[in-house]
Amino acid sequence: MRLTLDQVSPGKRVKVVSIGGGRGCRQQLFGLGVYPGEVLTVLRSAPFAGPIMVEANGTTFMIGRGMAQRVVVEEVD
Amino acid sequence: MRVVLVGQPNSGKSTIFNYLSGYRAITSNFPGTTVKYTVGKLYVDGLECECVDLPGTYSLTSADAAEREARRFLLEERVDVIVNVVDASLLGRSLELTLELLELEKPMVLVLNMIDEAERKGIKIDEGKLSEILGIPVAKTIAYTGQGLTEMVHEALRAWREEIKGRPIPFSRDVERVIAEVTEREEIRRLPARFVALKLLEKDPDFPIPSSPHLEEARRKLEESHGRPADVVLSSERHALAMNIYEEVVQVIRSPRVSLRDRLDDWVMHPLWGYLILVAVFCALFFGVFKVGSYLEEPLIGVFDRLSPLLSRVFSSGGVAYSLAKGALDGIAGGVGIVLPYLVPFLLALAALEDSGYLPRVAFLLDSFMHRIGLHGKSVVPFLLGYGCSVPAVMATRILESERDRIITAILATLIPCSARTVIILGLVSYYLGPLYAIGVYVLNLLVVGVAGMILSMIYPEITPGLILEVPRYHPPSLRSIVIKSWYRLKEFIIVAWPLLIGGSALLALLQHFGFERVLNRALALVTYPLGLPQEVGTTLIFGILRKELSLIMLFEALGTKDVLGVMSVGQILTFTIFVVFYIPCLATAAALWREIGGRRTLFALLFTFAIAFVLASITRMAWGLWVKV
């Protein structure tokens, strides 16, 4: 099932399908090792529609909702 | 020889730099501490080397201003040897930058830093094989203990002497063919040709050349065969290469343990506890500083109070020499008795907080609030630094991606009470009126920053790009780093501000002696009169522009007493403090603003903050008047 990263509930593992948005946004994610095909774990999300915290290959980072909406992922069991 | 340290944020470049050069760069536990490059000197085998610490950069595809600075330096300045510092526990991801650096065709060394952390994670790296693949020397270090750094320097020297440049590792064959077409067909005057060709294919905005049909054709070919934009194709190629190398050189001995971090983060970033902890941490910080400060302040001031009668015995009271000496003594007393007791504990506490890795967590908690004032969570970092000093805060805005965010954050950061203003708030409001009033001033300040942010967002109505920020590991703050950092900041005060303070205080005493300050004060009544402040405080406002803490010291000097409550009402003290906290940032900050956002906007910032100060101080005056009547 495909959904965007902001819809993933904490604790779930997902695989990146595509990264939308502008060049700046995707290059930032590339810098952190987030590429199509990589597996991410959503660790937690901040209240008040705040950012979500994600782990990818040992790197932990936070990503704002707006940007997370542009990352299409699919669930991994 | 010039050694240039390059690496991703938080890989430990600044720690290595400090160790090597003895010069103190500011290290912190959040990405983007080095926003501008720092140069130091070191001697290896009698050879003088220059060491440059560049801002951390994830890749050579620059996103924010700090990254752009790093790349500009690498391409345009003289670089004899690149020392690529890598967080060994994040090797896979870090290798992508390494591969890009290889394309620059400069002598280079790869440094696997924090090798202990990698081992804790269960990762074992075969540095021999890695060195063979990349064609450059590889050193293992633990920067904060200094382990391996001497060997690292020798490897760098060797790479330079023997010109060990490594070799760019080829991408897939079809991609290489396109790259070759570009390097052959395009007239690339800038070197290294391969690197420039890649940037041209990526459509990097910093590499503008009139687009030629060949280039368009090559890019189209690349994009069509891969079905993705060219920059994605190239980054993905590099990612795949990095992952392959990683697989080859890394052995995962055991799976990483659930770290303390996750468990700590469950609390620190909790939707309820997280905010309570946040409030508690900052309350503890300010109460702690106030307690320590006021504990130290009284005996220290007492010493100087006993000294001043001695002066009248040495100099004939009423003479010029007496006024001058008295003024100078007050200046010294102000530094020792009022500024240092608050400044030192404050700087130490802030440094500990920075090093611990807590600040990015604050960005996480406050991101949605920052969106409400038109910014995003990363702006929290400059704001928090602003509590220390506005100058690094304004400079730290370079970690933001969009220019609009930088402008707004820089202007707002100057409104945050820096340690100098904290001295005023603690030394005046808290000391004479009580700590609750001081907290009131801080809360009011936050509200004002929020409203000012909304106003600025209306003036610059662009949408903020949104937050992407790495969350570093927690570090038990190292005493050495805290002391170094605090000392570095304190030195600013001792070298720059204190002499100004002593000189200013003596000058004011002289002016008073000859009655000149009355003329100044009368002119400044334009401000002081509508605010209902005593005319004598006029000159203190001028000194406050030089350095904020001067306002307080000069206030004592201007009023001729430390018993402020005797000559000023509670309402006046509050009005004065509010005005001083918000009006025109000090000269050093104005200069930093000028550099970061340009002259016109700086002028705007000065007028904007002055207007805020004036309006707020007027409101304070009226509100207090009403409150007292009730």
CB-based contact B368 A50, cutoff 8 Å: yes
Backbone angles phi, psi at B395, to 5 degrees: -70, -35
Q: Does B232 touch chain A (CB under 8 A)?
A: yes
Chain A contact present for B328, CB below 8 A? no
Confirm if B110 and B7 have CB atoms less than 8 A apart.
Answer: no
- Best interface-test mutation with B: which of A9, A19, A26, A28 has the largest number of B CBs within 10 A? A28
Confidence of residue B543 (pLDDT cuts 50, 70, 90): confident
- The answer to whether residue B235 neighbours chain A at the CB level (below 8 Å) is yes
Selected residue with higher pLDDT from B33 and B347: B347
The CA distance from A29 to A57, in Å, is 13
Rg value, chain B, Cα? 28
Q: Indicate the range of B292-301, B528-537, B572-581, B597-606 predicted with least confidence.
A: B292-301
Q: Two tokens at B19?
A: 């160790």
Tell which B residues from 532 to 571 touch A, by Cβ distance under 8 Å. none
Chain A residues with beta carbon closer than 8 angstroms to that of B269: 44, 46, 53
Give B257's Cβ-side CA count (13 Å radius).
7
Is the per-residue pLDDT at B55 higher than 80? yes
Q: Which residues in chain B have Cβ-Cβ distances shorter than 8 Å to A33?
A: 90, 92-93, 96, 239
Asked if A49 lies within 8 A of B363 by C-beta distance, the reply is no
Nearest CB to A61; choose among B236, B376, B471? B471
Instruction: Tell me the average pLDDT across B84-110.
Output: 94
B220 C-beta neighbours (distance < 10 Å), count: 12
Axis-axis angle for helices B498-514, B320-333 (nearest 10) = 150
Q: Rg for chain A (alpha carbons), in Å?
A: 11
Residue owning tokens 């190398």: B245
CA distance B552 to A32: 47
**Percent of chain B that is helix, strand, coil (3-state, to 5):** 65, 5, 25
Residues in B touching A11 (Cβ below 8 Å): none
Percent of chain B exceeding pLDDT 70 equals 94
Taking the CA atoms of B163, B169, B173 and B174 in sequence, report the sign of the dihedral they define: negative
pLDDT tens column, B20-43 = 876 555 555 555 555 567 777 788
Class of domain A2-75: mainly beta
Q: Do A26 and B232 touch (CB under 8 A)?
A: yes
Shortest CA gap B497–chain A (Å) = 39
**Which residues of B are less than 8 Å from A5 in CB distance?**
none
pLDDT in tens, B514-529: 888 788 888 888 888 9
Please state the φ and ψ torsions of residue B250, each to the nearest 5 degrees.
Answer: -105, 140
Any CB–CB contact under 8 A between B503 and chain A?
A: no
Measure the CA–CA gap between B407 and B403, rounded to whole angstroms.
6
- Whether A21 contacts B63, CB under 8 Å: no
CA distances to B26, B297, B412 from B351, in Å? 10, 22, 22
Tokens representing B80 are 């004899």
Comparing CA positions, the residue from B387, B421, B438 lying closest to residue B584 is: B421
Residue B66 forms contact with A (CB below 8 Å): no
Distance in Å, alpha carbon of A1 to nearest chain B alpha carbon: 22
Buried b vs exposed e over B59-75: b needs ≥16 C-beta within 10 Å?
bbbbbbbbbebbbebbb
- Contact by Cβ (8 Å): B143, B16: yes
Least CB–CB distance from A28: residue in B63, B96, B256:
B63
Cα(B580)–Cα(B545) distance, rounded to whole angstroms? 9
The amino acid present at B378, given as its one-letter code, is K
| ipTM, two decimals | 0.93
Give me the tens of pLDDT residue by residue for chain A, a chain 77 residues long.
Answer: 889 999 999 999 999 999 987 888 888 899 898 999 999 999 999 888 889 999 998 889 999 988 899 999 999 87
What integer pLDDT is reported at residue B431 of this predicted model? 84
Q: How far is CA B325 from the centre of its chain?
A: 38
Phi first, then psi: what are they for B480, rounded to 5°?
-60, -45
| Interface contact flag, B93 A26, Cβ < 8 Å | no
Residue whose structure tokens are 């005046």: B428
Coil, strand or helix at A72: strand
Domains detected in chain B? 2-161 (3.40.50.300), 173-252 (1.10.287.1770), 273-629 (no CATH)
Is pLDDT of B159 > 90?
yes
pLDDT given at position B186? 64
Residue that wins the pLDDT comparison between B390 and B606: B606
pLDDT at residue B84, as a whole number: 96
How high is the pLDDT of residue B273? 94
Write the residue in A23, A49, A61 that is nearest to B468 by C-beta: A61
Confidence of residue B292 (pLDDT cuts 50, 70, 90): confident
- Span B68-91, pLDDT tens digits: 888 888 988 899 999 999 999 999
Per-residue buried b or exposed e for B305-327, using 16+ beta carbons within 10 Å of the residue's own CB = eeeeeeeeeebeeeeeebbbbbb
pLDDT confidence of residue B202: 85
B262 contacts in chain A (CB < 8 Å): 43
Mean pLDDT across chain B:
85
Q: What percent of chain B has pLDDT over 90?
A: 28
- How close does chain B come to A18, measured CA to CA in Å? 10
Residue of A nearest to B402 (CA): A24
The whole-number pLDDT of residue B130 equals 95
Minimal Cβ distance to B61: which of A27, A35, A43: A27
pTM of the model: 0.81
DSSP codes, B478-521: PHHHHHHHHHHHHHHIIIIIHHHHHHHHHHHHHHHHHTTHHHHH
Mutate to test the interface with A, among B91, B93, B101, B375 (most CBs of A within 10 A): B93
* Least confident stretch, B490-494, B518-522, B555-559: B490-494
Q: Which residues of A touch B96 (CB under 8 A)?
A: 30-31, 33
User: Under a CB-based contact definition with an 8 Å cutoff, are residues B504 and B331 in contact?
Assistant: yes
- Distance of residue B140 Cα from the nearest chain A Cα, in angstroms: 20
Q: pLDDT category, B309, cuts 50, 70, 90? A: confident
Distance (Å, rounded) from C-alpha B61 to C-alpha B165?
21
How far is C-alpha B74 from the geometric centre of its chain's CA atoms?
22
Residue B494, class by beta-carbon neighbours within 10 Å (0-12 exposed, 13-18 middle, 19+ buried)?
middle
Of A24, A46, A47, the CB nearest to B465: A24
At residue B460, the 3 state secondary structure works out as coil
Nearest CA among B16, B20, B88, B8 for reference residue B50? B20
CA–CA dist B431, B25 (Å, integer): 35
What is B7-74 written as a DSSP string? ESTTSSHHHHHHHHHSS-----SSTT---S-EEEEEEETTEEEEEEEPPP-S-SS--SHHHHHHHHHH
Instruction: Answer whether residue B586 shows pLDDT above 90.
Output: no
CA distance A51 to B263: 19
Predicted pLDDT at A27: 87
Instruction: State mean pLDDT over B108-123.
Output: 91
Domain ranges of chain A: 2-75
- State the Cα–Cα distance between residues B133 and B98, nearest whole angstrom: 12
Q: Are B489 and B347 in contact (CB under 8 A)?
A: yes
